Amino acid sequence: MTTTMRPIYLDYNASTPVEPAVAEAMRPFLDDAFGNPSSGHWASAPAKAALDRARSQVAALLGAAPDEIVFTSGGSEANNLAIEGTFFELNRPGTHIITSAIEHPAVLAPCRFLERFGASVTYIPVDGTGLIDPEDVRRAIIPQTLLISIMHANNEVGTIQPIAEIGAIARQHGIRFHTDAAQSVGKIPTKVDELGVDMLTIAGHKLYAPKGVGALYVRRGLELEPLIHGAGHESGRRAGTESALLAAGLGTACALAADLAPMKHVEAQRERLWKALQERFNEDVALNGHPTHRLPNTLNVSFVGRIGADILGQLRNVAASTGSACHSGQIELSPVLAAMRVPERIGMGAIRFSLGRHTTADEIDAVVARLATIALS
């Protein structure tokens, strides 16, 4: 007799639930505070105050100044603004950009787009744990290098990059340095001066805020060509009437994210999951990513000789993800695992379990028990 297991969510790297405090902060802007923050009269005052407060909350999380925060529609727009905005602001013959082979598509796609406009791009390789060697970045620099963009932590395997070391190299050469911190904000420290970055991307729905809002930190004094032209919103860096509703949600989420203590609980549950999987499957399960330099909530494992998508298909009522893609009936290895040179027999069995503040030990145990029945069937 089959027992239906209650839904369990282990896909926090894909999206997080909206925290009750975040929803509460947004509520006034669904009810009465509907004014345009740029209007300058009584109806706009609550919205303008909310924007200012949210900007300060985002800045405080990053150790930045409020005027260095640009609200965007999410992480993808923030990445595009950092990369394309730099290119079109500073473009000169032979413009060169450095990024990594395992970036999110919201970084890789803009880089490939700019190659159509004459930019050359170096894609730095990673080792078998997904880690970049900062010296590879140093060796890739040429006189025409305008920008380095390296993610803080990988969304699939959780490997944390040596951003501070790369930032020091960028400063030595006078090159702008951007990091996509969508996966790291709220999980590990992300103070911009400690990281040595000029630009940093935040995505709201990765840290318990709604979808459709994000931010780009832009170090004071840097100019960017806007992606969206119009009136002078966001200090001329992003035209369009700001949403006090979404900004209030992001600001509150950032204020909550300043407390990293909950990550101790999350990391403990991740370790509980990994140890249980090792005990159940021994050499038939393999860790993908760095064993220590990785996000406290992320566990990417391969069930050796299996297909991760097939396992997930049988793991009903459990939300997790696999990096492999299915095209025309053919399953392909995740580009991240391919860049890490993970053998197909291992990589095709990959599943990413990403935990969050609300993950419980009972949920972890239930998932392991269900996996055991699938793997042995």
Q: Which of 258, 326, 361, 369 is catalytic?
A: 326
| CA–CA gap between residue 188 and residue 151 (Å, rounded) | 14
290: tokens are 């760095």
- Collapse the DSSP code of 118 into the 3-class scheme (helix H, G, I; strand E, B; otherwise coil) and give the result: coil
Secondary structure (DSSP) of 175-238: -EEEEE-TTTBTTB---HHHHT-SEEEEEGGGTTS-TT-EEEEE-TT-----SS-SS-HHHHTS
- Collapse the DSSP code of 48 into the 3-class scheme (helix H, G, I; strand E, B; otherwise coil) and give the result: helix
| CA–CA gap between residue 233 and residue 236 (Å, rounded) | 5
| CA–CA gap between residue 161 and residue 174 (Å, rounded) | 21
Q: Does the annotation mark 326 as catalytic?
A: yes
Picking from 179, 173, 180, 184, the residue whose alpha carbon sits closest to that of residue 142 is 173
DSSP H or E stretch at residue 99: strand 96-100
Per the rule left: phi > 0, alpha: psi between -120 and 50, beta: everything else, 328 is left
Tokens 């997930």: give the residue: 312
> What are the Cα distances from residue 170, in Å, to 69, 196, 323?
21, 9, 31
DSSP H helices in the chain: 20-26, 28-31, 45-62, 75-90, 105-115, 134-140, 163-172, 192-195, 233-236, 244-257, 262-281, 308-314, 335-339, 344-347, 361-376
Residues annotated as catalytic are 326
